Structure 1
Amino acid sequence: MISRVRSPELPQNFTWFNTEQPILLKKLRGRVVILDFWTYCCINCLHVLPDLKYLEQKYQNSLTVIGVHSAKFDNEQETENIRQAILRYDIEHPVIVDKNFRVWQEYTVRAWPTFIVIDPDGYVITTISGEGNRDTLDQLIAKLIQEHQHKGTLNFQELRLTLEKQRQPLITPLAFPGKVLATPAALFITDSGHHRIVMSSVDGEIIHVIGNGKAGLTDGDFSTAQFSAPQGITFDVTNEILYVADTENHAIRRVDLQHQLVETIAGTGEQSRNIYPHGGVSLETPLNSPWDIVKVGNNLFIAMAGSHQIWCMNLDTRMISTYAGTGAEGCFDGSLTESAFAQPSGITTNGQELFIADSETSSIRGVGLIAPYQVRTICGSGDLFGFGDADGQGEDVRLQHCLGIEYANNFLWVADTYNHKIKLVSPSTGNCQTVLGDGSVGLQNGQGKSTRFFEPSGLSVMGSHLYICDTNNHAVRRVDLNTLEVMTLEFLGLCTPDVCIPNKF
């Protein structure tokens, strides 16, 4: 508990979202208020959003949640990018853009996420940091409501909000697509904002829509199965099986294309709270935000963003366990058991080594699949705050929250997400060069560095073409690798889940 102090007022001249006008704390007297200090890159901040939504619904007459977005990365300071994050994660409470960490400093916050609880009299009651605190907050809110109900000091007046999703509805055929996979069978896209998988030809002709578009964890045929913000995908060509990192379900799904069935093969549907290396039977072992996935032989290797680790699932034994990473958030090289990662969000392989887009350290890492099984940093500073935009060699390279990576022809294509660029990295020398994008936000076709993207997150190479999930543009881009010409694919006949019937093409 901290000293009982009056809560500092929130700046009225800052940018606000999900509300027509700035909110004064003094006008919220009689209500419990939670200030949620967050930044949209942070997996821990994303994990607490369902908890906040639960509490907001349970105590809608007497609780107000206000998000305070205090940005870590430069890119996260841009107001339009924050608006896109609010839409992507369906945030329905007011959010203030905390310019230059002013509110953060006034409330002496030190970590993301942090909750400041303010009682109905306007006093700060406590500060709680980290995730997994829903029950603690629930009990505290209930206690405060009971106390102030007895005193007659509760305010049950509903706060009227104008949500960003009302101002800017998601009506695009794709919504925040996360990853793309080009195969001889089809082009697969995780339509993350619509909670489904789109299967098309390489030219955009729809073959199947997998999932009914409603967030959930349901197995079954393509028209009834449900996912929740799926991200990474990998394909078994021989058996026509697609494997999916079903991120917000904390699960791995198996999609049988021949029989058109979806099956859960790992995870319990609940988020794991165990960050230490462990494992067990795949369907009995909780996972923690699997973000990307690659198949090597009969093993699935998983970038487990939530626990800052790389995991491995044996498809024969259906056992799953930590492969590399202590669970600490950082950048440590060495043996598999000594290494540390920071929100790994992209994974690819050449068969001898895994290559990781380690997003929170803005670095590219290598993880050995053969003796001596070492982890190394290929390029990037390896520091949690060592980000930027600089081509070069090894530790001199600066990336900004890279999310996508693809190995092809002895090189690594990297989606340098927050720099809105596509870069090419040599895994042997650590050399990194910008190939596509001028660094400005936009949807601009053309050639090479004259093109523009908006937080690209997924990459796939097949033959002479590179496919890019241009996430905030709700688009998939195709690049001719011979000319570096970029075009935007059109998916004729694809519609939003509330309009079309799944799998009717």
Structure 2
Amino acid sequence: MTARVRAPELRGRAWLNTGGRELTLADLRGKIVLLDFWTFCCINCLHVLDELRPLEEKYGDALVVIGVHSPKFEHERDPAALAAAVERYGVHHPVVDDVDMHLWQQYAAKAWPTLAVIDPTGYLVASMAGEGHAEGLSRLLDELIAKHGADGTLHRGDGPYVPPTPADTLLRFPGKAIELPGGNLLVSDSARHSLAELTPDGETLVRRIGSGERGDPFNEPQGLLLLPGEVAAAAGYDVLVTDTVHHQLRGVRLATGEVTLVAGSGRPWRSAVDGPQDALAADLSSPWDLAWFDDRVVIAMAGIHQLWWFDPRAGQVGVYAGTTVESLRDGTLPDVWMAQPSGLSATADRLWIADSETSALRWIAGDAMHTAAGQGLFDFGHVDGPAADALFQHPLGVAALPDGSVLVADTYNGAVRRFDPATGEVSTVDAGLAEPSDILVTASGDVFVVESAAHRLTRLAPGVVKTVTGERHHTERPPAAIAPGALVLDVVFTPAPGQKLDTQFGPSTRLEISAAPPELLLAGAGVTTQLTRTLEVNPAVEKGVLQVVAQAATCDVDVEFPACHLTRQDWGVPVVVTPGGPARLPLILRGLDQS
């Protein structure tokens, strides 16, 4: 990049992973600095954390990664919750708590995740949104190291990361739990990268499946499903596990503890494929939970805001519901919108879904999806009462009860909630819990909560119901001012060093635009192959959200065996319609916007 833009100074409420030290750009002079704007609810941000690990290892003496945590949900403003998330997801670099979104605004971020690269002399040289930038970042880092090494402005050596003291608990950030034949409980011990079999009281370890080391064989496992007996016999394993960071499903034979790979190539999903696919060849994206419904496995594919199906007998997978647009829209399957579905529970005729990023409880019956409670991406809270008015905050788990009602692990409210379809009411069963992530109802009727941030299973006392008036929240993420009438939406994309746009299979770019409410746009919604489009904004609508999905295909140049890459990002951009406002809205997919 040729622009000379001085990087804004770093500041925040507090720093983590620095031993208490506050860092400034002056402290980092001579290093390449990569700022990762993230929020710990965001699955795409978690993908980027995993993409950055190899870069941190390869370039560790020249590169300093700084996580900038700019929160979406109210719970994410809690410094203790942030510290827990940094440990939970294995963040091994400094993190600054950008609680007031100051750095978010200073660096003109408009999406989670956003990356910004600062050269060793303190200048901003690149910005990019979304995931899939690892290869481009590697090439850019090679260029910067060569240039600043030659100039004498690169200073190699250790960075400022100071690891925290490790904790010793039976479980560490457990995710999901199921009951096994015989009454023992199986828990995905996510931060320990293993499965823990516990006694029926949930307190004593019977055995551990997996080494406990990241990737051997599990990498942050989450969802668990005990297959029906005849299906297990045909498949050759008893329990199905979502190996979330590996983007795979694994089968476990309970008698021996043997673990086998049953679905997922290990590559993260990047583009749609029509029809059923061979399960082992398919690209999955952060599968988070599982349920047996309609004579097959349903997968909560959190990473791309969809549900998929998996047939263990035929070894095939396919899309069940969702278009990959991140939002809330009901209707006929598969053309619905979800946002990071993370919890599933099935009855004979209904599939319940905890749709975390819309803070919604949703359900499928027949060929249609419905919303029981929840209002969208930016509205959340802890409010009981009629379902139309009730609010959750990033729920991750759900459990259907024999009486037809549903329990919800309302994770960021620290509560267990109950929805009764017969009355249409939402109530609070228990509160004061530490990030409950799943609910298990045993064959005997006991109810266990996976209290993830307390690193334990907690048995709920029967019959407890609390009334919570709570508060309503709307995300305080700063909206973008836009002009009514003609608005140029411009997705800025520059191929990474050593790459070019790839047109060998058709257009190299794709842009999909919609709005909430739909009346916000009088014209311009839909799909085109150009990254710049003129929209017509309705002057009668004061505010809303522009939903933008952009992708660009690139290919390596000047190499014998070129690799192809797909860069993709979803934006939900809050906007306010202001007379005299800007008539151009730039969104940076990759580059440095010089407008």
Is the TM value for this pair above 0.5? yes
Work out whether 1:256 is the aligned partner of 2:253: yes
CA distance in 2, matches of 1:362, 1:276: 28
Q: Secondary structure in 2 aligned to 1:313?
A: strand
Work out whether 1:129 is the aligned partner of 2:129: yes
Task: Give the structure 2 partner of residue 208 of structure 1.
Answer: 207
Within-5 A mapping of 1:180-199: 180-185=177-182, 186-199=184-197
Within-5 A mapping of 1:144-183: 144-164=144-164, 166=165, 169-183=166-180
CA distance in 1, matches of 2:275, 2:409: 30
Specify which of 420, 428, 434 is matched with residue 426 of structure 1.
420
Task: Write out per-residue CA displacement over residues 260-283 of structure 1, whole angstroms, 9 at most, x where no aligned residue.
Answer: 322211111221112576540111
CA distance in 2, matches of 1:425, 1:326: 27
Work out whether 1:413 is the aligned partner of 2:407: yes
1:159 corresponds to which letter in structure 2?
G
Within-5 A mapping of 1:349-360: 349-360=346-357
Quick one: structure 1 residues 315 and 137, their matched pair in 2 at CA, closer, same or farther if it must change by over 3 Å?
same
Quick one: structure 1 residues 89 and 376, their matched pair in 2 at CA, closer, same or farther if it must change by over 3 Å?
same
Work out whether 1:435 is the aligned partner of 2:415: no
Query: Aligned pairs, how many?
Result: 455
Task: Write out per-residue CA displacement over residues 403-427 of structure 1, whole angstroms, 9 at most, x where no aligned residue.
Answer: 0100012111100000000000124
Work out whether 1:476 is the aligned partner of 2:469: no
Percent identical residues: 38
Higher percent of residues as strand: 2
2:71 corresponds to which letter in structure 1?
A
Of the structure 1 ranges 471-480 and 426-435, higher mean CA displacement relative to structure 2 is found in 426-435
Runs of at least 5 residues in structure 1 that lack an aligned partner in the other structure:
218-225, 438-451, 486-505
CA distance in 2, matches of 1:69, 1:483: 36
Within-5 A mapping of 1:38-437: 38-164=38-164, 166=165, 169-185=166-182, 186-204=184-202, 205-216=204-215, 226-236=217-227, 238=229, 241-274=238-271, 279-296=276-293, 298-368=295-365, 370=366, 373-381=367-375, 383-409=376-402, 410-437=404-431
Task: Write out per-residue CA displacement over residues 134-173 of structure 1, whole angstroms, 9 at most, x where no aligned residue.
Answer: 0111111110111111111111142243223x3xx12111
Work out whether 1:17 is the aligned partner of 2:16: yes
The answer to whether the 8 A contact 1:277-1:326 is kept is no
Query: What's the RMSD between the two structures over aligned residues?
Result: 1.8
Q: 1:29 deviation in Å? A: 1.7
CA distance in 2, matches of 1:465, 1:305: 28
The answer to whether the 8 A contact 2:297-2:310 is kept is yes
The answer to whether the 8 A contact 2:60-2:159 is kept is no
Task: Write out per-residue CA displacement over residues 422-441 of structure 1, whole angstroms, 9 at most, x where no aligned residue.
Answer: 0001245542100101xxxx
The answer to whether the 8 A contact 1:279-1:285 is kept is no
Q: Secondary structure in 2 aligned to 1:138?
A: helix
1:401 corresponds to which letter in structure 2?
H
Of the structure 1 ranges 275-284 and 173-182, higher mean CA displacement relative to structure 2 is found in 275-284
The answer to whether the 8 A contact 1:2-1:126 is kept is no
Task: Write out per-residue CA displacement over residues 104-160 of structure 1, whole angstroms, 9 at most, x where no aligned residue.
Answer: 111111111001111111111111110000011111111011111111111114224
CA distance in 2, matches of 1:421, 1:67: 29
CA distance in 2, matches of 1:400, 1:482: 23
CA distance in 2, matches of 1:24, 1:482: 53
CA distance in 1, matches of 2:96, 2:149: 29
Task: Give the structure 1 partner of residue 440 of structure 2.
Answer: 460
CA distance in 2, matches of 1:417, 1:483: 18
Quick one: structure 1 residues 348 and 160, their matched pair in 2 at CA, closer, same or farther if it must change by over 3 Å?
same
Quick one: structure 1 residues 433 and 111, their matched pair in 2 at CA, closer, same or farther if it must change by over 3 Å?
same
Task: Give the structure 2 partner of residue 503 of structure 1.
Answer: none
Task: Write out per-residue CA displacement over residues 204-232 of structure 1, whole angstroms, 9 at most, x where no aligned residue.
Answer: 44433211212225xxxxxxxx2111111
The answer to whether the 8 A contact 1:464-1:481 is kept is no
Within-5 A mapping of 1:442-453: 452-453=432-433
Larger Rg: 2
